[in-house]
Amino acid sequence: SQQGEEDPQALSIQEGENATMNCSYKTSINNLQWYRQNSGRGLVHLILIRSNEREKHSGRLRVTLDTSKKSSSLLITASRAADTASYFCATHPPGGGNKLTFGTGTQLKVEL
């Protein structure tokens, strides 16, 4: 079963604009991770945010986490055509070992 639901399901923007994707989840978590999947490829890890963190940055990526609302957002600033991909959040529950539960994903298209 899927723990996370991403919103929107699809997003189309122009190069240079910012892209924001949201993830909502159902149970408590130890941490939340974001992954990217280019068409026809496997997933690639982007960033991890722990449950006691509220915001984290990595290059053009900014992730926020609100555990009270059980939600996270991924912001990609100054988007590029190469950012076109699907983005997934993945949650790690307490006592879950190294098991992650992935969300439904947001398809991002960045147009020139």
Partner 1 sequence: DAGVIQSPRHEVTEMGQEVTLRCKPISGHDYLFWYRQTMMRGLELLIYFNNNVPIDDSGMPEDRFSAKMPNASFSTLKIQPSEPRDSAVYFCASLPGTGVMGTDTQYFGPGTRLTVL
Binding site for partner 1 (CB under 8 A): 2, 30-31, 33, 40-45, 48, 50, 88, 92, 96-105
CB of 86 to partner 1, least distance (A): 10
Residue 11 or 47: the one with the smaller Cβ distance to partner 1 is 47
CB of 89 to partner 1, least distance (A): 11
Residue 15 or 47: the one with the smaller Cβ distance to partner 1 is 47
Do 72 and 64 form a contact (C-beta atoms < 8 A)? yes
Structure tokens at 57: 């940055």
CB of 8 to partner 1, least distance (A): 15
Residue 84 or 86: the one with the smaller Cβ distance to partner 1 is 86
Residue 79 or 101: the one with the smaller Cβ distance to partner 1 is 101
Task: Specify the amino acid at residue 110.
Answer: V
CB of 18 to partner 1, least distance (A): 25
Structure tokens at 103: 């969300």
Asked if the bond preceding 8 is cis, omega within 30° of 0, the reply is yes
| DSSP strands (E only) in 1-112 | 5-7, 10-14, 19-24, 31-37, 43-50, 55-58, 61-66, 71-76, 85-92, 101-102, 106-111
